[in-house]
Amino acid sequence: MSVFPQLILKPKKERAFVHRHPWIFSGAVEVLPKAENGDIVEVHSNDGRILGFGFFSPYSQIVCRVFEFDPEGRTIDTDYWKTKIQRAMAVRQQVLDFKETDCYRLLHAEGDFCPGIIADAYGDSLVVQLLIKGTEKLIPVLKDAFLSLGFKHVYLKTKQSSQILEQVNEEITWLTEPRELPVEVKENGVKLLVDFEKGQKTGFFLDQRENRRIAGGFSEGKNVLNTFCYTGGFSVYALAGGAKEVHSVDSSQAAITMCDENVEINGFSDRHQSYVADCFDFLKQAPRDFYDIIILDPPAFAKNARKVENATRGYKELNMLGFKRIKPGGLVLTFSCSQNVDKVLFQKIVFGAAADVGRNVRILAHLSQPMDHPVNIYHPEGEYLKGLLLYVE
Ligand code: SAH
């Protein structure tokens, strides 16, 4: 017996389904379900077989985001979601060293078969971001599941979730007893302050953890420029790695204030300078023969597919500035977190920048997101962070 409204695919359109891609586009649908925005629906093939379950989204091109591809005999209830979250935790327990790192992504949307749900752990606090309609109905289940995993505080990031939370009281942010912010966490042994309330995203960019470690490993005796530094993650690692001098630049005063605090609590203030500035302007006037390492980690320039062309220009200009300012024999770590700029396109853009500046550039490594940001193999779009470690002659 069917408990959820049915979405019926056009004949032959279940092929994408066999490939377990979690997005159903409107063109593939023959019969829309009698359902509201955000309702869970059953996906059926044209010949009447049940194929999966997903969140219905009638106003989007992606009309359904599937979270279950093995529907046979499955009940979508509280236990179902709890099990999913426990499995996500089991992955992190296998690949992370919790003694050195107590901040990590527990739920990575499609990467953990939870479309529209992000959950980041900061010590014993969990910060949740909800990105699609329907997920808000899971708030009580999510909370219970997190508490049963041992988390003490659960915070709902309403700013980013507000579009889908119109029925929910805006005041609801703490789902448990609140706690004082910022919290102090550790990442690869480095201390960091995180404020989920005032900070960007869930408070910190956990996705750069491994790249920060790599950068720190090359920093001994070097002058390092960390552009788009936010709260100084790369800066603290570079200083911990023995950098001679580190300069951190961000346009946000709040970010720079916390960056200074992060440097301070790790005891490195004497080798660090911070600047509230536009990174493009800063790079334009920076000296040409001072920085041995430059980190370029801007925000997503292409927030959607229509913005790719502008984003391309932005990335190219930024990388040209980096190539002009890096000392001969220096390293540039350059990143893009735009989902709509894939790694092939990104490399082409960086190639264009190198060619225009006219310096020899070698790719030493391709960089990506860490293991707590898993990519569902059927949803390659989930690999959003790409970077290059470059040696510039
Ligand atoms: N590298 C950081 C994350 C960067 S997020 C980390 O490891 O944590 C992007 C940052 O760029 C944000 O802090 C934002 O305030 C800043 N930003 C955006 N546009 C900027 C600009 N034009 N100049 C300087 N900073 C900018």
What is the tens place of the pLDDT at every residue in 40-50?
999 999 999 99
* DSSP class per residue in 49-64: -EEEEEEE-TTSSEEE
User: What is the rounded average pLDDT of the residues 337-365?
Assistant: 97
| Residue 301 domain flag | yes
Is residue 122, in this structure, part of any structural domain at all? yes
- Do 25 and 82 lie in one domain? The reply is no
For ligand 1, the distance from its centroid to the CA atom of residue 22, given in whole angstroms, is 31
Among 250, 274, 315, the mutation site with the greatest number of ligand 1 atoms within 8 A of its Cβ is 250
Q: Nearest Cα to 146, choosing from 168, 174, 172, 181?
A: 174
Residue 176 lies in a domain: no
Could you tell me if 64 and 92 lie in one domain?
no
255 lines ligand 1 (CB under 6 A): yes
Q: What is the pLDDT of residues 308-323, one digit of tens each?
A: 899 999 999 999 999 9
Looking up residue 125, the CATH number of its domain turns out to be 3.30.750.80
Q: Write the CA distances from 6 to 11, 49, 190, integer angstroms.
A: 15, 11, 50
For the Cβ of 207 lying below 6 angstroms from any atom of ligand 1, the answer is no
Residue 262 CB–ligand 1 contact under 6 Å: no
Nearest to 230 by CA among 269, 201, 210: 201
Tell me the CA–centroid distance for residue 143 and ligand 1, in Å: 31
Which of 68, 100, 120 is the endpoint of a domain?
68
**Residue 141 amino acid letter:** V
Cα-based angle 332, 191, 336 (whole degrees, multiple of 5): 30
Structure confidence at residue 290 as a pLDDT band (50, 70, 90): very high
Residue 262's nearest CA partner among 191, 347, 311, 330 is 191
Residues 229 and 336 in one domain: yes
Measured in residues, the chain has a length of 393
pLDDT score at 164? 55
Shared-domain flag, residues 287 and 346: yes
CA separation for the pair 128, 36 (Å, rounded): 23
pLDDT at 169 over 70: no
Assigned domain for 46 exists: yes
> Residue 40's pLDDT is what?
98
Task: State whether 215 and 160 are in the same domain.
Answer: no
- Tell me the three state secondary structure of residue 73: coil
Q: Which of ligand 1's atoms lies nearest the C-alpha of 281?
A: 23
The total number of structural domains that make up the chain: 3
Give the Cα separation of 236 and 233 in Å (integer): 6
Residue 16 is predicted with a pLDDT of 79
pLDDT digits (tens, 9 = 90+) for 181-217: 999 999 999 999 999 999 999 999 999 999 999 999 9
User: What is the per-residue pLDDT for 307?
Assistant: 85
pLDDT confidence of residue 166: 54
Residues 144 and 32 grouped into a single domain: no
The pLDDT tens digits of the residues spanning 245-285 come to 999 999 999 999 999 999 999 999 999 999 999 999 999 99
pLDDT confidence bin for 14, thresholds 50/70/90: confident
Are residues 209 and 288 located together in one domain of the fold?
yes
Q: How crowded is residue 61: how many other Cβ atoms within 10 Å of its Cβ?
A: 10
Question: What's the pLDDT tens digit per position in 123-141?
Answer: 999 999 999 999 999 999 9
Work out the pLDDT band at 355, boundaries 50, 70, 90: very high
Where b means 16+ CB within 10 Å and e means fewer, 1-22 reads eeebebbbbeeebbebbeebbb
Residue 248 falls within a domain, yes or no?
yes
pLDDT above 90 for 161 = no
The pTM assigned to this predicted structure is 0.95
> Is 288 found in the same domain as 243?
yes
Pairing of strands 245-250, 223-227: parallel
Categorize the per-residue pLDDT at 64 as very low, low, confident or very high, splitting at 50, 70 and 90: very high
The answer to whether residue 177 sits within a structural domain is no
Residue 160, pLDDT score: 53
C-alpha to C-alpha distance for 149 and 299, rounded to whole angstroms: 32
Residue 32 maps to a domain: yes
Predicted local distance difference test score (pLDDT) of residue 6? 97
- Of 68, 91, 108, the position where a domain reaches its end is 68
The domain in which residue 46 lies consists of: 6-68
Q: Is any atom of ligand 1 closer than 6 Å to the C-beta of 317?
A: no
